[in-house]
Amino acid sequence: MADKFQLSEPFNYFMDKEFSNNDLISFWDEIGKKYIKWDKMYTKVYSGNEKKPQWYNGGLLNLCNNVLDKNLKENGNKIAFYHECPSKNYSNKVIYFELWEKVCVFSRVLKNLNIKKGDVVMILMPNQIETIVAILSCVRIGAIFCTCPLILNSKMIADKIEYIKPKLIISTNYAVSGSDYNYLIPVLNDAILISNLKIENIIIYDRIDFINKEKQESFLDRPQNYKFKGIQIENALDWDEICKNVEPLVEYELLESSSPVCITFSSGTTGVSKGFITETGSFIAHLGYSYKNNYGFREDDILLTTIGLGWAFGQNLIFSSLNHGCSLVLYEGNMGMVSFDYYKLIEKYKVSMILSTALPFRLLQNNDPEAEVSKQYNLSSLRVIVLGGEILDSSILKYIEKIGVKVMDMYGQSECNNLLTTPSLQLPTRPKSAGVPSSGLNLYILSLEDKQPITKPFQFGEFVVKLPLTPFHIQGLLYDDEDRTLLNEKYLKKYPGYFNTGDLGYFDNDGYYYVVSRADDVINSGNGLIYNSFFEDAIQHSEKVFDNVVVPVTSDDPSKQDAVAFIILNDKFKNEYDENPKQFLNTLKNEINNSFVFDSVITAEINVSIKHLVVLFDIPKSTSNKKIRSILAKMFEEKEYAIPSSMINIHLLPQYENQIKFYKSL
């Protein structure tokens, strides 16, 4: 059968999809040969069994060599990364060859600290070039890195330290916070003291190029910061000092295909984040094939990302950008603040692709509803905006249309490390559709009733991936046993023979797929199931609403659930709400309930209405910027709730409770 099919060149979605559907093993064999630089070729592309697959057995390789070293001959003098922090008027850049030199030096530093293959290194740094140097140095010597989102919560960092048990922590002293700075030393110091783990070494990068010594002293002399003066992390090593007079490590560690690259985490929106293991061979196969063909990376691309390097997708962009010889602009700033700097950077660097989440564009929409500011800049180089993280509502899609750029709505998971569906550049996009199933895996939708594959369009069901898990997926959970019991219990038990995504959706007559809800968030209306994005999309069309989430709660009628919408108001309507909250909410609720547009999945026969409307000042978010719905449902029902380990705005929990109590008192 392998003779009948082959990888398309140039890429043809239909040919590759037919290939992987009919001969999955040969498909990944060809990818392994085409996209991976092996020091020793694998002897068997696939072995093991469908619950415990082994890919590229017998092969030896190195990730740093695959993405960085291989580019030195052709792209050595090309810019690899730009670093931009507009709020501080700071810019930096590094070419491929300089990056390689820095990585070789820092790799030797790690070796000198007795960091070796299999050791865990925790990296707590913002979007800066040194973060990339640290990551690449880890994979060069075979250490397992774990980047963490830049959070100013010592307890959360301490929990992560105790969970991953790093031998080394690498961090920095300052990061940007809007137009000001964050001082990380006291936060990290407290985290280390709280944790029960003895850390052998800690490296701190002093950002004197970003905030000079005079400004550092001035920052610490402020009355609110004076308490931090003199705080030092015991036995911390200075990055620049330990790099002096070090002989570069030009060699790299040869690793088996199954050797772990890094530990990444789920969004943790429903509880404790799970640690996933990414394997070297599978990861490089994914970087090579998916980013070239699903995302459309080209060697002459200038990419721009607002996504933090502490997020799995941010890490993927480092490796994929290098792998394909691109240049990547790293944006350092607060995504929660409106900024027209994106337009300036697009024009400055002639950016061809933005990779981001919806939040920056929602902020732009709130401040510039007609996208008039975008017309002041030359954005002609920009061919596509790629958005992920949350299901996109149609108002955001329409707003980006006003900017005049094509948008790709991605559907992937931390568990998959890849897109499950692809908004293929070879097919027309459709509003609210995440595209068509990716090549290299077999995606199905199973009926919620009989658990059989759905064959008819517009039938609501749960997304699953047929086993075996391909190199697109993570291959294990941290601290799982030899039989992968944790992985099986969490993802493989519900639907035997399939990987359960926990996401719900449907496909249309032309095979376009639509992701509409997490399984936990679907609402039983009594005579039908309603996905929360149906409500959220309608609510988002109100000019009064900046953002919203909808959750199911227990109803007085035991045969159904009620829908509760938590909304953030646009600024210009806050006074109107304050003057008469009850009247404002009743009017808005009636407007929303009369605005629903029914379709082939949610029909007019289903009881559809928002029962409760609660105003919040903010929405619970995870470190990957995903909305945490479960905690709001528990609060509304006045039940005990567990605080998700990834929640970044824990300090707002009392505020949420008070705002719910206020609503119920109206």
Confidence of residue 267 (pLDDT cuts 50, 70, 90): low
Confidence of residue 643 (pLDDT cuts 50, 70, 90): confident
Q: Please state, in angstroms and rounded to a whole number, the distance separating the CA atoms of residues 542 and 325.
A: 43
Q: Across residues 91-111, what is the average pLDDT? A: 99
Q: Across residues 111-140, what is the average pLDDT? A: 98
Q: Is 532 exposed, middle or buried (0-12, 13-18, 19+ CB in 10 A)?
A: buried
Q: What domains can be seen in the chain, in order of their start residue? A: 1-35 (no CATH), 535-665 (3.30.300.30)
Least confident residue range of 298-302, 444-448, 619-623: 619-623
Written as one string, the DSSP assignment of 173-186 is SEEEETTEEEE-HH
Helical ranges in 404-524 per DSSP H: 485-487
Q: Please state, in angstroms and rounded to a whole number, the distance separating the CA atoms of residues 472 and 287.
A: 9
Check residue 265 and give its pLDDT: 84
Q: Please state, in angstroms and rounded to a whole number, the distance separating the CA atoms of residues 482 and 476.
A: 10
Q: Please state, in angstroms and rounded to a whole number, the distance separating the CA atoms of residues 217 and 152.
A: 20
Pick 145 or 394 by higher pLDDT: 145
265 by DSSP, 3-state: which?
A: strand
pLDDT at 601 over 80: no
Amino acid at 243: C
Burial letters 243-257, b for 16+ CB under 10 A, else e: beeeeebeebbebbb
Residue pLDDT, tens place only, 201-239: 999 999 999 999 999 999 999 999 999 998 999 989 999
24-35 vs 13-22: helix crossing angle, rounded to 10: 120
Instruction: Give the contacts of 615 (CB within 8 A, at least 6 positions apart).
Output: 566, 567, 568, 569, 577, 581, 585, 659, 663
Q: Is 607 exposed, middle or buried (0-12, 13-18, 19+ CB in 10 A)?
A: exposed
Q: Which helix (H) or strand (E) holds 384?
A: strand 384-388
Pick 319 or 607 by higher pLDDT: 319
Residue pLDDT, tens place only, 529-585: 888 888 999 999 999 999 999 999 988 888 889 999 999 999 999 999 999 999 999
Q: Please state, in angstroms and rounded to a whole number, the distance separating the CA atoms of residues 286 and 440.
A: 10
Residue pLDDT, tens place only, 158-200: 999 999 999 999 999 999 987 899 999 999 999 999 998 999 9
Pick the most confident of 150-154, 186-190, 337-341. 186-190
pTM of the entire structure? 0.93
Amino acid at 449: E
pLDDT at 270 over 60: no
100 by DSSP, 3-state: which?
A: helix
Least confident residue range of 98-112, 151-165, 409-423, 461-475: 409-423
Least confident residue range of 273-287, 405-419, 577-591: 405-419
Confidence of residue 603 (pLDDT cuts 50, 70, 90): low
Instruction: Tell me which DSSP letter residue 618 carries.
Output: S
Beta carbons of 220 and 174 less than 8 angstroms apart: no
Beta carbons of 67 and 287 less than 8 angstroms apart: yes
Q: In what order do the strands lie in the sheet with 411-413?
A: 411-413, 418-422, 436-437
Q: Please state, in angstroms and rounded to a whole number, the distance separating the CA atoms of residues 404 and 435.
A: 20
Q: Which helix (H) or strand (E) holds 319?
A: helix 312-323
Helical ranges in 457-529 per DSSP H: 485-487
Strands (E), 400-531: 406-409, 411-413, 418-422, 436-437, 443-447, 461-466, 476-477, 498-507, 513-518, 523-524, 529-530
DSSP count for the chain of H helices, then E strands: 21, 33
The DSSP bridge partners found for residue 95 are 79
Q: Please state, in angstroms and rounded to a whole number, the distance separating the CA atoms of residues 528 and 517.
A: 15
Confidence of residue 34 (pLDDT cuts 50, 70, 90): very high
Check residue 625 and give its pLDDT: 74
Check residue 521 and give its pLDDT: 85
Residue pLDDT, tens place only, 45-97: 999 999 899 999 999 999 999 999 999 999 999 999 999 999 999 999 999 99
Beta carbons of 327 and 302 less than 8 angstroms apart: yes
Least confident residue range of 71-85, 304-318, 405-419, 574-588: 405-419
Q: Across residues 129-138, what is the average pLDDT? A: 99
Residue pLDDT, tens place only, 366-400: 889 999 999 999 999 999 999 887 778 888 889 99
Please choose, from the candidates 569, 561, 659, the residue with its C-alpha nearest in 3D space to the C-alpha of residue 609: 561
Check residue 300 and give its pLDDT: 96
CA distances from 591 to 549, 585, 596, 609 (A): 17, 10, 9, 11
pLDDT at 621 over 90: no
Check residue 177 and give its pLDDT: 81
Beta carbons of 330 and 83 less than 8 angstroms apart: yes
Residue pLDDT, tens place only, 491-513: 999 999 999 999 999 999 999 99
Check residue 3 and give its pLDDT: 63
